[in-house]
């Protein structure tokens, strides 16, 4: 089913071909180099409360959870994941430059095998995140890699701040060398008097017929 959806999208969204090749990888076996930051940050900051905006297949969640388990027992770790899951339709895929994910139940079954506390939320984060403010704990680590439209990323950052304390580390994926999608514009608008912002140096580069796409991670923490 996913393969059929990929083929329908590839002609409409050039990025889909790139994303398809990137996300066919698994941690430790050819995943783009920038993901080293994702897993090492979870391990080095001793994060045990992890929020991921853009769970997709759960591939990155599994990697982050395994790193967290190097510091804690599974029962101490909490994972909070957000995605449209099976409700991501064709139009939303085009708008968000996103590959259709599996169903929530499929991802949940995969992640529950880790024996950590797993909480998944299905729907647009414009709807799901606001109602959870004040109900979820402050996070140790937040990974923003959901929809790629400017409005969605702006919204995700707005509400991610509600789950940050002075220790929280936020990593954005998809700091692209373009301003019409990805997190570059949102990162540029972050108040540098309140937050530390760093574009992490490892960069993945993809050559396409329309030009060069570069992708970095961006790291954000509160100033104290």
Q: 3-class SS at 161?
A: helix
CATH number of 2-172, picked from 1.10.3720.10, 3.10.20.70, 3.40.640.10, 3.40.50.150: 3.40.50.150
Predicted confidence pLDDT, tens digits, the chain (224 residues): 434 443 443 444 444 344 444 444 444 446 899 999 999 999 999 999 999 999 999 999 999 999 999 999 999 999 999 999 877 666 766 655 567 778 999 999 999 999 999 999 999 999 999 999 999 999 999 999 998 899 999 999 999 999 999 999 999 999 999 888 899 999 999 999 999 999 999 999 988 777 899 999 999 999 99
Angle, in degrees to the nearest 10, between helices 104-112 and 59-68: 20
Q: How far apart are CA 110 and CA 164, in angstroms?
A: 27
Q: How far apart are CA 215 and CA 12, in angstroms?
A: 21
Q: How far apart are CA 104 and CA 82, in angstroms?
A: 10
Q: 3-class SS at 53?
A: strand
Kindly list the domain boundaries of the chain, sorted by start residue: 2-172
* Beta-carbon count within 10 A of 164 CB: 19
| DSSP 8-class letter at 136 | S
């Amino acid at each position: 089913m996913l393969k059929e959806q990929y083929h329908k999208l590839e002609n409409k969204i050039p990025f889909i071909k790139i994303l398809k090749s990137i996300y066919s990888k698994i941690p430790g076996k050819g995943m783009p180099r920038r993901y080293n930051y994702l897993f090492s940050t979870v391990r080095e900051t001793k994060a045990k409360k992890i929020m991921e905006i853009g769970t997709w297949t759960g591939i990155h969640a599994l990697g982050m959870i395994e790193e967290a388990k190097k510091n804690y027992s599974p029962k101490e770790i909490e994972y909070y994941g957000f995605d449209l899951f099976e409700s991501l339709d064709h139009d939303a895929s085009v708008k968000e430059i996103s590959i259709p994910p599996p169903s929530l139940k499929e991802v949940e079954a995969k992640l529950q095998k880790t024996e950590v506390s797993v909480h998944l939320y299905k729907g647009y984060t414009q709807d799901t995140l606001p109602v959870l403010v004040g109900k979820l704990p402050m996070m140790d680590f937040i990974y923003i890699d959901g929809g790629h439209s400017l409005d969605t990323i702006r919204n995700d950052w707005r509400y991610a701040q509600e789950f940050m304390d002075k220790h929280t580390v936020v990593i954005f994926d998809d700091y692209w060398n373009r301003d019409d999608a990805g997190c570059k514009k949102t990162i540029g608008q972050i108040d540098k008097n309140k937050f530390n912002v760093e574009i992490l140096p490892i960069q993945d580069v993809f050559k396409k017929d329309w030009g060069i796409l570069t992708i970095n991670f961006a790291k954000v923490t509160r100033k104290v």
